[in-house]
Amino acid sequence: MNNAKANNYRKRISDKLLSLRRKRGFTQAELAKRLGLGQGTYSRVEHGNASLSAEQFLEVLAIFNVTASAFNPREDLGGDIQNALLRLGASHLLGDTSRLPDDRLDHVGEVFREVLADGTQSRHITSLAPVFVRCQKDVHLKRLWAQFVGYGLENRLGWALENIRKALSLASGHNLTRQHATAIRAAERALDPFLLWAETQRLRIVEGHDDLLGLSSLGAKSRNEVLASSSDISRRWGVISRILPEDFFEALRAADVAR
């Protein structure tokens, strides 16, 4: 990971957090309490010297009623997430493509961030598979990782990309058209070196993670049931989810990326 980039994203978050807090009229102590932090720890976050956890970042989004893109003002989706997914390759989703922006490079990364920061819409999450296959040349994975580090959500990105890689392997086992086979192989070549590198980061970031994806909330009993049925990939990345690699594969098939 490029420390300079991570520090840059952390600074963006701290500046935006300060702005949102002042506009809402919260003191540092009041917002720290809502986030379950001591005031001293929160002050370090606001000065760019510490990061929020994934759960705390999501709580910030809820408190101030903003999306993750509010912390990265250079990019603007200009439309809803489902439409953006549709435009970028998830053709099995229904939406109005006329509302979508044109800049593919920025918006591929932005869509990944919005979908995974929200983390509740299973269909949107699995739709990242066809989006990645169709737009993989436009995705700078280590730059995207550095942005997720700034948000404290890098375990979600690693989880999603490893699931996509497994789905590509499942697709390779089917009879594909030449065009589809070429696209699948290109996506595999893009993911393989990155995932080898991400594995060196994984043990450092998953400790203490108990992260729900594709689920809005769970009681203790249901949580344990989902945890017991989670995939190996989910357990590796500290994620609790019913979403399996096969679901990402079905998104590839439905979007006519793997036929």
From 15, 44, 66, the end of a domain falls on 66
- Tally the domains of the chain: 2
Q: Does 259 map to a domain?
A: no
pTM of the model: 0.68
- Rounded distance, CA 190 to CA 108, Å? 15
From 66, 92, 116, the end of a domain falls on 66
Q: Does 113 map to a domain?
A: yes
Instruction: Give the tens place of pLDDT for each residue, 196-254.
Output: 999 988 876 655 556 778 776 556 567 678 777 889 999 889 888 889 999 999 999 88
Q: Does 160 map to a domain?
A: yes
Question: Same structural domain for residues 23 and 127?
Answer: no
Question: Same structural domain for residues 14 and 103?
Answer: no
Q: Does 7 map to a domain?
A: yes
Q: Which domain holds residue 136?
A: 74-207+243-254
Instruction: Give the tens place of pLDDT for each residue, 12-35.
Output: 888 888 888 887 788 899 899 989
Question: Same structural domain for residues 43 and 97?
Answer: no
Question: Same structural domain for residues 80 and 60?
Answer: no
Tell me the pLDDT band of 50, cut-offs 50, 70 and 90. confident
From 66, 92, 115, the end of a domain falls on 66
Question: Same structural domain for residues 78 and 7?
Answer: no
Question: Same structural domain for residues 53 and 139?
Answer: no
